[in-house]
Amino acid sequence: MERSSSAPGISRRTFLAMASLAVGSGALAACVPAPASDAVSEAQAPEVLTGKIADIVLRQIGTGVSGVNEIAEQAKADLGFTIQMTALGTDENNQRAITQPGSYDIFDGEYFSLPLVVPSGALQGLDVSRIEAFEKIAPTFTTGKLTEDSVIAQGTAPHKVMFLPERNSTSFAEGMTNWATLIPTIYNADTLGYRPDMVEKVPTSWADLFDPVYRGRTAILDIPSIGIMDAAMVVESAGLMEFGDKGNMTREELDGITDILKEQKALGQFRAFWKTFDESVNLMVSGEVVLQSMWSPAVTAVKAQGIPCVYQPLAEGYRAWGGGIGISSGVEGMELDAAYDYINWWNSGFAGGFVGRQGYYSAIPENARLFMSEAEWDFWYEGKPASEPMVDPFGTELEPEGAVRDGGSFWERMGRVVVWNSVMDEQDYLVQKWNEFIAA
């Protein structure tokens, strides 16, 4: 990898890998660099220890967004141990995390899963002092405010579930502590996607999802906790209802929104409800649906098939989600050290640059920038016109020269997040109401 050799971050990484390889026991704190000479001199039996490091396999479960083989391969090259990735759906990922903590070492999940996962005690608190450059992590995750004057968004904003009082706590801390649940990796702001070639009216507001001009051509997500959020954005912007907190609705609010959804379903407003990434892509590509809630890479996937698709910024702002990685409660010793190394590696730049070229944001943008070209950084983070065609890490051209990212820069997009993917207090009731909506 050309980029690796020239990037300043990697030499440090390589060094760290070497150091932990040499010490082996894990006595080395990740944030305290040890002189290289010490590390070498302390190596009593490098061959044996090398074998041990190479023998470490960290089993990662994740939703596939960040569970990319290329990242695992680079991690192995940089760190010396193996990351074994299992891609699961959001639901399966949560289930596995909660019910079989012994079956994985690394949990790669979304923040809004934490209210489900943390009470089970399946994850161990992460020692913030062992996390490199923790202070550089986008403040969205630590304080909830991207900038000083940002308004804290509704829903399960990551900072609300970011910290634990103690290492083994099963409930969240109020403010910042030394124990974190997940270390953020990637995140994004979601909105509606539409087919510019198949609509006569350009959507400008979430309310347009209920506009009769799109009747029978719209879709929303059939994952209750996310779907309800999109629905809430629509209902609120259409002036049909107001919510105290869209990310944490009351029973009355759930009743109200379900009635509205049932009404729209009866009118034939929806073509389908999708549950997986592929479904959303296929609905759009086939033209069965022309306006729907989508994930950013799904829009990219539609465009990659030569079908025009716009990820439209809307007047009300974005619904955001964030993902991170944590460590299973049972991981200890050398594996635990390796897990910390892996977490630190994630935000050291390579992975951030990799997902950045897919349109996701990295928790430490400045590190990701080290692994992106000037043109890539300008396009994906700065919202400037592409000075050259944008190519994703797999070689597919996503955007031609001169294109501008839908919604603009990182700050414009992440600064306009109005709600985060959530798990509500009334989650049980939500699922019940959602089933009622589907059955209607």
Near other proteins by CB under 8 A, which window of 40-48, 218-226, 240-248, 342-350? 218-226
431 binds other proteins (CB under 8 A): yes
In the complex, least distance from residue 119 CB atom to other proteins, rounded to whole angstroms: 6
Q: How many CA atoms lie within 13 A of 70 on its CB side?
A: 13
Grouping H, G, I as helix, E, B as strand and the rest as coil, residue 273 is: strand
d(CA 310, CA 53): 46
d(CA 178, CA 338): 19
Near other proteins by CB under 8 A, which window of 8-16, 122-130, 398-406, 428-436? 428-436
Pairing of strands 318-328, 123-124: antiparallel
Per-residue contact string for residues 100-129; x = within reach of other proteins by CB under 8 A: ---------------xx--xx---------
Which residue in 24, 101, 203, 224 binds other proteins (CB under 8 A)?
A: 224
Q: Which run of H or of E encompasses 433? A: helix 427-439
With beta carbons less than 8 A apart as the criterion, state whether 339 and 58 touch.
Answer: yes
286 binds other proteins (CB under 8 A): yes
Q: How many CA atoms lie within 13 A of 271 on its CB side?
A: 21
282 binds other proteins (CB under 8 A): yes
Q: What does the chain come to in residues? A: 440
259 binds other proteins (CB under 8 A): no
388 binds other proteins (CB under 8 A): no
Torsion angle of the four alpha carbons 17, 20, 24, 29, in this order, in degrees rounded to the nearest 10: -150
User: For other proteins, which is the closer residue by CB, 127 or 259?
Assistant: 259
d(CA 298, CA 54): 36
Residue that is written with structure tokens 């059955």 in the block: 439
185 binds other proteins (CB under 8 A): no
Which residue in 11, 84, 171, 435 binds other proteins (CB under 8 A)?
A: 435
329 binds other proteins (CB under 8 A): no
Near other proteins by CB under 8 A, which window of 5-13, 205-213, 281-289, 401-409? 281-289
CB-based contacts of 402, cutoff 8 Å, min separation 6: 385, 386
User: For other proteins, which is the closer residue by CB, 74 or 225?
Assistant: 225
Torsion angle of the four alpha carbons 421, 424, 428, 430, in this order, in degrees rounded to the nearest 10: -60
Closest CA to 331 of 117, 58, 67: 58
User: For other proteins, which is the closer residue by CB, 268 or 402?
Assistant: 268
In the complex, least distance from residue 21 CB atom to other proteins, rounded to whole angstroms: 39
User: For other proteins, which is the closer residue by CB, 114 or 386?
Assistant: 114
Query: How many C-beta atoms lie closer than 10 Å to residue 201's C-beta?
Result: 11
With beta carbons less than 8 A apart as the criterion, state whether 409 and 383 touch.
Answer: yes
96 binds other proteins (CB under 8 A): no
Residue that is written with structure tokens 């820069």 in the block: 409
Over the Cα atoms of the chain, what is R_g?
22
User: For other proteins, which is the closer residue by CB, 205 or 427?
Assistant: 427
In the complex, least distance from residue 255 CB atom to other proteins, rounded to whole angstroms: 12
User: For other proteins, which is the closer residue by CB, 18 or 438?
Assistant: 438
219 binds other proteins (CB under 8 A): yes
Near other proteins by CB under 8 A, which window of 232-240, 282-290, 348-356, 395-403? 282-290
Which residue in 66, 140, 225, 237 binds other proteins (CB under 8 A)?
A: 225
Assigned token pair, 8: 């300043």
How many residues touch other proteins under the rule CB under 8 A: the total is: 39
Grouping H, G, I as helix, E, B as strand and the rest as coil, residue 134 is: helix
In the complex, least distance from residue 252 CB atom to other proteins, rounded to whole angstroms: 17
With beta carbons less than 8 A apart as the criterion, state whether 162 and 118 touch.
Answer: no
Closest CA to 132 of 29, 205, 46: 29
User: For other proteins, which is the closer residue by CB, 220 or 398?
Assistant: 220
Residues 404-423 touching other proteins, rule: CB under 8 A, are: 423
In the complex, least distance from residue 94 CB atom to other proteins, rounded to whole angstroms: 7
Per-residue contact string for residues 74-93; x = within reach of other proteins by CB under 8 A: -----------------x--
CB-based contacts of 282, cutoff 8 Å, min separation 6: none
262 binds other proteins (CB under 8 A): no
**Which positions touch other proteins (CB under 8 A)?**
91, 94-95, 98, 115-116, 119-120, 216, 219, 222-225, 265, 268, 270-275, 282-283, 286-288, 423, 425, 427-428, 430-432, 434-436, 438-439
